[in-house]
């Protein structure tokens, strides 16, 4: 339960460290371990769908910094599993700072949609320090993007470089600019031009906003590979896959919806990220 007073500690978020000091954590009913450093009971609380403006620092148990940003923006989603990062963010009010102790593998793979950094072994915790600086509505962010982002390909490439760094992407792009990241090698039939593929997918923009998902629809998607039934990035990327495989595609706009975007869903010059599973090749 939150204190009725504003709690100010002598340490600030950017200097605090709980990596080797695991005392002081409380247990949320969901199983989340958390520790507040500052409480602002007058601050606004976020709701699902809001865009959170955060300062964030991600550390190992021995206090090594893995990620750090003073102005990180992400959309608050419903928890993906009990006691996850989104559970912690929903506890915050604007002005609060806290540390969440999470399972590293689940945090990076589920919440951050990236490979687990080599600094973590199976079962290791990760310590995520956050300060909630502001809350934007989805409409506010869309308006900001339309005026400040996605104006040309140079802007897109700048955003893509930032994303690749934050997501610790180490693979090289193909000649077309596609990034193919294999998560699980398939052992079944190879995807080939003219074959009908049955897939599950979740598509996001590089700021993490989901724009389409077969999983949310509860039904796999089918298409014929190489027949211009899907974006060019898909026709290229699935050629790397076998039945049963799981992968991540990072697809620049010139292999997707280009300078025109798509309806009001995907803005011009939008790099797209897809988590895919190839279920069947027929």
CATH number of 104's domain: 3.10.50.40
How far is residue 13's CA from residue 179's CA, in Å, rounded to a whole number?
A: 35
DSSP 112-145: S-SPPPTT--TT-EEEEEEEEEEEE-HHHHHHHH
Residue 2 has a pLDDT of: 53
Q: For 166-177, how does the pLDDT look when each residue is reduced to its tens digit (9 = 90+)?
A: 788 889 999 999
Tokens at residue 268, please? 């011009």
Q: Does residue 234 lie in a domain region? A: yes
Domain C-terminal end among 140, 169, 196: 140
Domain C-terminal end among 79, 107, 140: 140
Query: Within this chain, do residues 38 and 114 fall inside the same structural domain, yes or no?
Result: yes
Pairing of β 272-281 and β 246-251: antiparallel
Residue 147 has a pLDDT of: 53
How far is residue 96's CA from residue 44's CA, in Å, rounded to a whole number?
A: 10
Residue 167 has a pLDDT of: 80
Q: Low-confidence residues of the chain, pLDDT below 50?
A: 1, 3-20, 148
Q: Which of 134, 52, 120 is nearest to 86 (CA)?
A: 52
Residue 281 has a pLDDT of: 97
Q: Does residue 12 lie in a domain region? A: no
Query: Within this chain, do residues 257 and 159 fall inside the same structural domain, yes or no?
Result: yes
**Which residues have a Cβ under 8 Å from the Cβ of 272 and sit 6 or more positions away?**
203, 204, 205, 206, 211, 231, 233, 249, 250, 251, 253, 256, 257, 266
Please, are residues 21 and 63 in contact by the beta-carbon 8 Å criterion? no
Residue 14 has a pLDDT of: 40
Q: For 245-271, how does the pLDDT look when each residue is reduced to its tens digit (9 = 90+)?
A: 999 999 999 999 998 888 767 888 899
How far is residue 74's CA from residue 66's CA, in Å, rounded to a whole number?
A: 18
9 Rama class: left (phi>0) / alpha (psi -120 to 50) / beta: beta
Q: Among all residues, which ones are annotated catalytic?
A: 201, 211-212, 231, 257, 274
Q: Which of 37, 38, 34 is nearest to 127 (CA)?
A: 34
Q: H/E element holding 162? A: helix 153-166
Residue 22 has a pLDDT of: 62
Range of the domain at 133: 26-140
């Amino acid at each position: 339960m939150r204190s009725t007073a504003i709690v100010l500690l002598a340490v600030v978020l950017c200097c605090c460290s709980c990596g080797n000091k695991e005392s002081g954590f409380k247990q949320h009913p969901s199983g989340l371990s958390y520790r507040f450093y500052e409480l602002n009971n007058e601050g606004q609380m976020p709701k699902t769908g809001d865009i959170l403006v955060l300062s964030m620092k991600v550390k190992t148990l021995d206090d090594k910094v893995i990620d750090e940003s003073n102005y990180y923006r992400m959309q608050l989603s419903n928890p993906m599993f009990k006691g996850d990062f989104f559970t912690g963010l929903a506890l915050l009010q604007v002005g609060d700072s806290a540390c969440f102790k999470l399972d590293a593998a689940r945090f990076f793979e589920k919440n951050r949609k990236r490979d687990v950094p080599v600094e973590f072994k199976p079962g290791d915790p990760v310590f995520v320090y956050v300060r909630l600086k502001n809350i934007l509505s989805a409409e506010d962010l869309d308006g900001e993007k339309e005026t400040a982002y996605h104006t040309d390909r140079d802007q897109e490439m700048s955003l893509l470089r930032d994303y690749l760094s934050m997501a610790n992407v180490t693979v090289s792009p193909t000649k077309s600019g596609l990034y193919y990241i294999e998560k699980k090698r398939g052992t079944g039939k190879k995807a080939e031009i003219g074959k009908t593929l049955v897939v599950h997918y979740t598509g996001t923009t590089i700021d993490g906003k989901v724009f389409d998902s077969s999983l949310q629809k509860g039904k796999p998607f089918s298409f014929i590979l190489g027949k211009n039934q899907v974006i060019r990035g898909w026709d290229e990327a699935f050629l790397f896959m076998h039945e049963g495989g799981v992968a991540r595609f990072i697809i620049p706009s010139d292999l997707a919806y280009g300078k025109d975007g798509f309806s009001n869903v995907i803005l011009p010059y939008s790099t797209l990220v897809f988590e895919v599973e190839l279920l069947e090749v027929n």
